[in-house]
Chain A
């Protein structure tokens, strides 16, 4: 895949849907930040993290379902079976990296395990989104959107 193109479309997406990408950055910040402070939250630490991860998955899935035309068109015009995975993965990963920088700038510390949890969230969300694209008729997706 031509990564340059994906990033270009991502930039276009940021301009069109800034609120979504701000939300995505906040979710990434919360997931990684909550992991690092979960011990301070006592019994609620793990529970809070799971809730945020679930919200994050629903949030991304809803967005990429509503905005599925872009991935559908790219897939029809020469994309391959992994386009449905790779496009959301690169986009969510970009905002995970931004979230890491924001945490480092504001709090000054982030553990490797928190980054791994953030990466796991990115991977899991992208796989869930990709499943929809792999198992749904692409023509149907672009016609319906």
Chain B
């Protein structure tokens, strides 16, 4: 269980204020969508909340503990509750698709089931013949799918999935498939923090934050059945 509370976050990049006094609560099992134009600060906000970028002001409390005041050892421990899907596909280029997917198991004992799960997801997206290919040989869209699979394959061990524009390079059919997977994981109690421009994503989210110039300009709470 991972409860997150961000209080008055501020982040500057050189002279530009990228995040300007943002506060938000993320309860376990929520499905949050962050929308906004490019450069609004969505990625930076998600990275601060998930413990990857230190804010210049404000604080992030994870399960009641001020994350950025913790020791590095404790921060690493807490961060294991998060899984990431990055906007720009970040991979170990000289490794194969399957190795890149299984990276999150480097700190765990990957069982045969985990391996099967990776193959299942590859099959689901019609990429089962790419398992042993070098990752850089895949197209941008295929790499995006691999990034998504890597982000969700450890759902058993993580509480929060941070997805930064995961479907921006995919067609509508694949986008819907991925959103349905997020919805399924959310129904299992996982928290989803999704950054997306997509209209379709709005149908799946429980809360929507609109951002502009580093501020939250609008907030919508959706009532779900």
Cα A70 to Cα B47 with chains together (Å): 19
Contact assessment for B105 and A78 in the assembled complex, using a CB-CB cutoff below 8 Å: yes
Chain B residue at minimum C-beta to C-beta distance from A1? B107
Contact assessment for A16 and B150 in the assembled complex, using a CB-CB cutoff below 8 Å: no
A6 contacts the other chain (Cβ, under 8 Å)? yes
Contact assessment for A15 and B90 in the assembled complex, using a CB-CB cutoff below 8 Å: no
Cα A83 to Cα B102 with chains together (Å): 16
Contact assessment for B109 and A81 in the assembled complex, using a CB-CB cutoff below 8 Å: no
Contact assessment for B54 and A137 in the assembled complex, using a CB-CB cutoff below 8 Å: yes
A45 contacts the other chain (Cβ, under 8 Å)? no
Give the interface residue-count category, chain B: 20 to 34
Contacts of B103 in A (CB 8 A): 73-74, 77-78
Cα A69 to Cα B105 with chains together (Å): 17
B84 contacts the other chain (Cβ, under 8 Å)? yes
Do A134 and B72 contact each other (CB < 8 Å), given the known contacts A12-B94, A77-B104? Answer: yes
B110 contacts the other chain (Cβ, under 8 Å)? yes
Which residues does B use to contact A, with CB under 8 Å?
A: 47, 52-54, 72-73, 76-77, 80, 83-84, 88, 90-92, 94-95, 99, 102-110, 150, 154, 157
Out of A9, A16, A73, A80, which one reaches B91, CB within 8 Å?
A: A73
Smallest Cβ distance from B98 to chain A, in angstroms? Answer: 11
Smallest Cβ distance from B140 to chain A, in angstroms? Answer: 17
Contact assessment for B108 and A137 in the assembled complex, using a CB-CB cutoff below 8 Å: no
Contact assessment for A78 and B107 in the assembled complex, using a CB-CB cutoff below 8 Å: yes
Contact assessment for A81 and B105 in the assembled complex, using a CB-CB cutoff below 8 Å: no
